[in-house]
Amino acid sequence: AGRPELRLAALLRPLPAAAAAAVLLRLRLSNRMVDEVARLAGAEPLPPPSAPEAD
């Protein structure tokens, strides 16, 4: 995941799932990005934004 996805996931973590989903839909991200951010938002622990990008 890239830094933007990690930062977005960190912002969405405190939100209820429905609210986080609404934000992702309004951002009009690709399905892949929505899936990745949702996965990261629910991950324990969340990788730091400075972590190297995964392919």
What residue segments make up the domains of the chain, in order of their start? 3-41
Provide the token pair at 43.
């991950």
pLDDT of residue 20: 85
The pTM score is 0.61
- Pairwise CA distance, residues 25 & 7, whole Å: 17
Q: For each successive 10 residues of the chain (55 residues), what is the average pLDDT?
A: 80 87 85 83 70 63
- Pairwise CA distance, residues 24 & 44, whole Å: 20
pLDDT of residue 53: 65
- Pairwise CA distance, residues 7 & 30, whole Å: 17
pLDDT of residue 47: 63
Provide the token pair at 21.
């989903």
pLDDT of residue 29: 80
Distance, CA of 12 to chain centre: 7
